[in-house]
Structures are given as C-alpha cells and as structure tokens.
C-alpha cells in the first residue's frame, strides 16, 4: 500500500486530505498528523476583540477529515527526507512514500526584545494572532477609553497581511461608536513604506487611514518593546509612546522545519512557486503558509493552490510532468469598519487593482473600495470555510485569477 502523510490538520492539511481521498484509490493510505485536535477558524480572531465569542472559532479537526483518513495526534519533531520518515515527539516514527507539509506559520514574539515578556503580562501590550491573545485583547479594549493606541506590524511576511489594517479600521469604528474617538489617538506602525505592500492597494488603504484620522508610521523597523517606559523603539532611534500596543509579532515557520534543515532563515520551505513541490526533495509538496511562495499567506491562497496541486500530485506519483501551474491567486476581504469591507484579488504578476469582481449570487463585488456587499461576503466566509472550503467542495470562484472587471491603473495612479 502506498503511504501519503500530511503534516498539519489546519486549513491546507484538511483541504488536501479531503481532495486527495477523493482522488486516490484504496491502494493509498492517508494519514494526517497534528499536535492538536482543535481546528481554529483564524479569520475569526480579528472579530473576537469586538463581538465574536471565542468558542465560535474552535471545532474538532477530526470532524472535517473524511472516512478513510487516519488521524494521529502528536507533535512533529523532525522530518528525515532521505529515509522518508517523520519522527514524532512521542517517539513514534511514521514512514511515507509522499509527504505533504501543511503546518503553517506561528507568531514568535521572542524575536523582538521585550515583546514576549510584555505580551505575557496582558496589561498594555497585546496581540490577536492567537485565540488566547484575541480573548485577552477583548478585555483590554473594554477597559481602555483614552490614550495612545498603536497597531503594529513587526515584519513581513505575516499570515493575512491585511489583518492588522482591518484591526486598525475596526478599532477606530469601535471608539467612534462608543463616542470616545476624540480621546483615542490611533497610529498604524509598519515596516513597509506605506499602508500595504502593493502600490495601488497601498495608496487606497493609506487614503482610508487618512480619512479615518489614523496616523501612519511607515518604515518602522522595530528594535524593542520597552514596556516599562511604554515606548516602541525602532533601529533608527525613533520612539513611539503608547498606552495600548496591539502588535503582530514576527511570523515564522515551525521549529521542526528548521530542525530538519528544510526551511529558509524564517523557517519557510523553498518550493517551486507554480507546482508547490519542494525544491530539494521531489517527494515533498508544501501547501498553505509553510512554503516560501511570494503571495499572501492566506486561507484563500491555500484553497486555490490545493485544487491546482491535486492534478500535479496525481502526475507526480505516475512519474509524469506536472500539468498545473499555480498563479499565486489570493482573494482577501479587508474589513474597513462602518459595516463595510474592501476586496483584494491578485496573483504573483498582477497587483490588487480597482474595478469589480464577478461573484455568483451576491456579486459583482467592489475591488479596493469599501462596500457593504464585501462585508457581507466576509461574514459569509465563515460558513463557506467550515462547509465548503475544508471539505474540499468546489467554490464558484476560479482558481486562477481573472482580469474580468479589473481596471488597469493609469500611469499616474501608481505613484
Ligand atoms: C487574525 C487572522 C485573520 C485571518 N484572516 C484571514 C482571512 O480573512 N482570509 C484568509 O484567507 N486567511 C485569513 N487568515 C490566514 C489563514 O488563517 C491562514 O493563512 C491559514 O490558516 C493557513 O493554513 P495552513 O494550513 O497553512 O496553517 P494552519 O491553518 O495554521 O494549520 C497549521 C496546523 O499545523 C499544526 N502544527 C504546527 N506545528 C506542528 C507540529 N510541530 N506538530 C504537529 N502539528 C503542528 C497546527 O496545530 C495547525 O493545526 C487569517 C489569519 C489570522 C491569524
């Protein structure tokens, strides 16, 4: 019997298990390994500080694995690609013929001086990239009604790179609704030279920050969090004082990836960006946030990539050349407060552009423009995630990015 091992039962691992169980016959065994039986709907972390109940984002990951897939609950300690084995923390060893790595990324606050200690106190420094962090932040916001609030990104890449911007817009709306906006000074602090990575989106999102009177502190390469003095310090000597700091710690690959010699400096695994096959080990594919592909680390990317990957995997096991080329397609809603959201749709070659996005029943949706329909799309995504995305059901959105409805920018617009 041929053995397929999938590491990780998060977004990408679960989708892949469902898609491949349908595509492979009974001569294949499929085993999924995860250290946890909880699956978190991570986009929900954004809403927990404001209104979503924390319990709502958690379900048992085994509910989403199909019959005919074995689940092993254990922490992965090391992959030995030459022996085609995976070593687990409980001393078990699993052999594989083919390996899919889908163990994502994790926030690592120890990489910034003072950040981990400050976060552990749960007083003036918070984050929302974990369930525990988002829940603690809810309590902090409830008791914070005046002062300087920094929304801070330590470095790129991070998963869901728009999430900190969304938080800035939502927290602005939160204080506006509580009639305390005039007492809370909000600054968005980023290592980038503008609000976002790509020029057109950066200009639109930067404009929105300005409209909402949210200050922008760009090119801020953080050196340390000084919780004692309540200042964020940059390598160039700049200091930003705060009363409440909401930070996104550096996001890195998993420790076992580094220990196995599979990752780059940040622990992300180099792959061919079109086939998702490991550059070094031909029996390893990497899906989701764990790879080094140059597009957003997002559930939508994992979804589009996983569907393209299936054809490639079937070809690889037959020894054929890989037929499908993943284009880096990402599709992200950006909550902008006031019951609205923007939509970004882009790939490796095309940056997010303005225009419209054709979408089945409720579309077309507006690209790069706050609209109610986009916000409803973001809310609907939760049910789509559990009921369609994870079980590997086809969504009415093409895997490859389409130019339909998109406006090419004028020469002046990119400046
Ligand atoms: C605040 C926030 C908001 C977001 N919003 C959106 C959004 O609106 N839209 C969108 O598309 N995406 C969004 N994302 C991103 C999305 O959640 C991730 O990109 C997606 O979950 C990545 O899937 P993955 O399978 O690669 O990793 P994950 O879903 O994180 O799964 C990784 C799995 O690997 C397991 N694992 C890790 N290490 C080990 C180990 N050593 N041993 C065993 N198991 C291990 C973990 O337990 C986990 O189950 C958001 C993320 C955050 C944090």
- Tens-level pLDDT at each residue, the chain (415 residues): 999 999 999 999 999 999 999 999 999 999 999 999 999 999 999 999 999 999 999 999 999 999 999 999 999 999 999 999 999 999 999 999 999 999 999 999 999 999 999 999 999 999 999 999 999 999 999 999 999 999 999 999 999 999 999 999 999 999 999 999 999 999 999 999 999 988 889 999 999 999 999 999 999 999 999 999 999 999 999 999 999 999 999 999 999 999 999 999 999 999 999 999 999 999 999 999 999 999 999 999 999 999 999 999 999 999 999 998 999 999 999 999 999 999 999 899 988 888 888 776 566 788 889 999 999 999 999 999 999 999 998 887 878 888 778 887 765 554 4
Contact, 36 vs 61, CB < 8 A? Answer: yes
Residue 220 domain-assigned (yes or no): yes
Does 366 lie in the same domain as 273? Answer: no
Residue 327 domain-assigned (yes or no): no
Q: Which two tokens stand for residue 108?
A: 């690592």
Residue 158 domain-assigned (yes or no): yes
Q: Which of 200, 216, 251 is the last residue of a domain?
A: 251
Does 217 lie in the same domain as 135? Answer: yes
Residue 260 domain-assigned (yes or no): yes
Does 296 lie in the same domain as 181? Answer: no
Does 264 lie in the same domain as 387? Answer: no
Does 238 lie in the same domain as 120? Answer: yes
pTM more than 0.85: yes
List Cβ neighbours of 391 (8 Å cut-off, separation of 6 or more).
Answer: 18, 64, 66
In this structure, the residues whose C-beta lies within 6 A of any atom of ligand 1 are 8-13, 33-36, 42-43, 45-46, 75-76, 102-104, 128-129, 159-160, 163, 254, 256, 288-290, 297-300, 302, 332-333
**Closest ligand 1 atom to 255 CA:** 41
Residue 90 domain-assigned (yes or no): yes
Instruction: Give the domain extent around 21.
Output: 2-50+59-104+254-317
**Closest ligand 1 atom to 40 CA:** 29
Residues in the chain: 415
Does 281 lie in the same domain as 187? Answer: no
Compute, in angstroms, the gap from residue 10 CA to the centroid of ligand 1: 6
Does 245 lie in the same domain as 134? Answer: yes
3-class SS string, the chain: CEEEEEECCCHHHHHHHHHHHHHCCCCEEEEEEECCCEEECHHHHHCCCCCCCHHHHEEEHHHHCCCCEEEEECCEEEEECCCCEEEECCCCEEECCEEEECCCEEECHHHCECHHHHHHHCCCEECCCCHHHHHHHHHHHHHCCCEEEEEEECCCCCECCCHHHHHHHHHHHHHHHCCCHHHEEEEEECCCCCCCCCHHHHHHHHHHHHHCCCEEECCCCEEEEECCCCEEEECCCCEEECCEEEEECCEEECHHHHHCCCCCCCCCECECCCCCEECCCCCEEECHHHECCCCCECHHHHHHHHHHHHHHHHHHHCCCCCCCCCCCCEEEEEEEECCEEEEEEECCCCCCCCEEECCCCCCCEEECCCEHHHHHHHHHHHHHHHHHHCCCCCCCCCCCCCCCCECCCCHHHHC
Does 189 lie in the same domain as 122? Answer: yes
Number of domains comprising the chain: 3
Does 146 lie in the same domain as 79? Answer: no
**Closest ligand 1 atom to 254 CA:** 38
Does 115 lie in the same domain as 245? Answer: yes
Does 136 lie in the same domain as 234? Answer: yes
Does 114 lie in the same domain as 140? Answer: yes
Compute, in angstroms, the gap from residue 318 CA to the centroid of ligand 1: 30
Q: Which of 251, 270, 298 is the last residue of a domain?
A: 251
Chain centroid offset of residue 356 CA: 24
d(Cα 127, Cα 142) in Å, to the nearest integer? 15
Residue 177 domain-assigned (yes or no): yes
d(Cα 202, Cα 91) in Å, to the nearest integer? 48
CA dihedral sign of residues 299, 305, 310, 316: negative
pLDDT value of position 363: 66
**Closest ligand 1 atom to 39 CA:** 49
Q: Which of 317, 342, 368 is the last residue of a domain?
A: 317
Compute, in angstroms, the gap from residue 202 CA to the centroid of ligand 1: 25
């Amino acid at each position: 019997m041929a053995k397929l091992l999938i590491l990780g039962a998060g977004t990408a691992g679960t989708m892949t298990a469902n898609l491949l169980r349908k595509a492979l016959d009974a001569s294949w065994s499929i085993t999924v390994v995860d250290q946890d039986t909880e699956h978190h709907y991570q986009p929900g972390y954004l809403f927990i500080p404001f209104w979503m109940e924390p319990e709502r984002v958690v379900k048992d990951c085994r509910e989403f694995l199909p019959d005919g897939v074995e689940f092993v609950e254990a922490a992965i300690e090391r992959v030995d690609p030459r022996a085609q084995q995976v070593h687990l923390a409980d001393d078990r060893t699993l052999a594989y013929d083919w390996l899919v790595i889908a163990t994502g990324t994790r926030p690592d606050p120890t990489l910034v001086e003072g950040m981990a200690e400050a976060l552990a106190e749960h007083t003036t420094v918070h984050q929302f990239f974990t369930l525990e962090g988002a829940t603690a932040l809810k309590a902090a916001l409830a008791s914070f009604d005046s002062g300087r609030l920094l929304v801070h990104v330590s470095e790129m890449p991070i998963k869901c790179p728009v999430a900190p911007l969304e938080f800035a817009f939502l927290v602005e709306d939160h204080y506006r609704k509580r009639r305390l906006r005039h007492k809370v000074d909000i600054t968005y602090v980023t290592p980038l030279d503008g609000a976002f990575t790509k020029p057109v989106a950066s200009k639109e999102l930067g404009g929105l920050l300005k409209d909402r009177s949210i200050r922008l502190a760009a090119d801020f390469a953080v050196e340390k969090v000084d919780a004692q003095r309540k200042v964020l310090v940059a390598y160039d000597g700049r200091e930003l004082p705060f009363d409440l700091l909401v930070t996104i710690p550096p996001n890195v690959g998993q420790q076992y990836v580094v220990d196995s010699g599979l990752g780059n400096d940040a622990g992300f695994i180099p792959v061919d960006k079109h086939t998702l096959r490991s550059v070094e080990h031909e029996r390893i594919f990497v899906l989701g946030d764990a790879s080094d592909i140059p597009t957003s680390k997002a559930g939508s990317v994992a979804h589009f990539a996983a569907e393209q990957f299936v054809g490639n995997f079937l070809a690889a096991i037959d020894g054929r050349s890989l037929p499908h080329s993943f284009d880096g397609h990402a599709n992200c809603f950006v909550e902008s407060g006031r019951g609205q959201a923007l939509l970004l749709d882009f790939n490796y070659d095309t940056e997010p552009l303005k225009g419209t996005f054709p979408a089945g029943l409720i579309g077309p949706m507006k690209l790069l423009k706050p609209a109610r329909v986009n916000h409803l799309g973001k809310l609907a995504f939760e049910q789509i995630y559990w009921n369609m995305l994870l079980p590997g059901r086809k969504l009415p959105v093409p895997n490859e990015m389409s130019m339909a409805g998109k406006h090419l920018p004028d020469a002046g617009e990119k400046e």
